[in-house]
Structure 1
Amino acid sequence: MKNPVPLPAYLALCLLLLSGCAAAAGSPGSAGPPSSASSSVASPPGGAHAAHHGTETGSPAPAPAGPSEAARMVCGDQPMDRLTAILELKEKPHTVSNWADSTFTCTYHLAEGTLRISVQQAPDEASARKYFDAMQALAKDAKPIEGLANLGFPAYETADGSAVFQKDSFVLHVDASALPAVAGPNAITRNALAYQLSTTILACWVEHH
């Protein structure tokens, strides 16, 4: 990864975040209503469940009725506070959330453009991994995030500013591609921003697992 902040600083950030998550995350499948509506997130060819075929039972698990509390954390205080601090915003940005095709999406409206964080909520870990692999195969200029930087999870980034991680039955996608190449007074790159927000959310999921 090409990030302006050294990797040890990112890992230290993650350790700090493990003790700083206030919201309680429920198990996948615990329903909760999204706060508002926006456009849905595109799925791999064949729909969000196309990658879910071929399970041992031979029949797909039922789609969740709504986003779990863990999924809704992408629109919660932790990523919001982290984004506000990184970009040194004077006020918290407006957000719009949406639940469609088993994907919860939170769109942050910033002066420089939009930032989208989405969570595909799969029926199980194997299905999530198939969905992740399909996304990576279709992504343009995808590069695996390897070594300590992936925090032990399957992960990749794209050249235009996206970071994607798979943990348990979730696939987390932080998409900063609509932002300028660098943003904020500290000129953070899109990739570094996407990575830092990803680790913020992953740290909260780890704590509340």
Structure 2
Amino acid sequence: MILIDATGEPIQCVIFSNDVDQFVGKLQEGLVYSFEGAHVIDADDWLKLIPNQYQLNITRETKVSVIDTNDDEFPKSFYNLISLHGVNSFKNFAKNLIVVMGIIIYSTETIAIDNGESIKQDIVILDQSNCFAMRLTIWNDFVNEIGKHILENIHQNNILLGCGLQIKYFNGSLFLTTGKYTRLYINHNDLTSSSLMQW
């Protein structure tokens, strides 16, 4: 997850498997917390979501408290958006999880893979970086959650925000795909998506 302080400075936060149960259901997006006893460690390049060389490690010993404060003091969100055209500049793309936003301009029907063990749906998104388009393959739960909505509203200029997407290379082309750490939003309420809707 990503934490943001009152200045808008983000830092990635990790809770390792041995400590996860301690925090299930206790951390909610949009609330303000204090963290006492978190460890500052070198960021893991394999799972780095933002350009920060450090990350926070929260353990069972970390004291986490909700702070009652004026919501306007803290940014509502932080997205390290990468232009679709800029995806091509990643040299070690297999190690990067990225955030992109674009207009959904095309979608396939649901496709069954491995005799129905998995399902996928290929969509194409377009952003404002030289009108650059790229394929995004969504899998399984994401197909069930938003696939039908995308198909039924393909001509409505829906904006997709994809966080934690993986970059893949196949048959000479780069494309994006969902993974374990992916979150997808349709028509997320922020300035970038609003500008795309009016594009």
* TM-score normalised per structure 2: 0.25
Q: Which has the higher helix share?
A: 1
Q: Which has the higher contact order (CA 8 A, sep 6+)?
A: 1
Higher strand share: 2
Question: Which of the pair has more CA radius of gyration?
Answer: 2
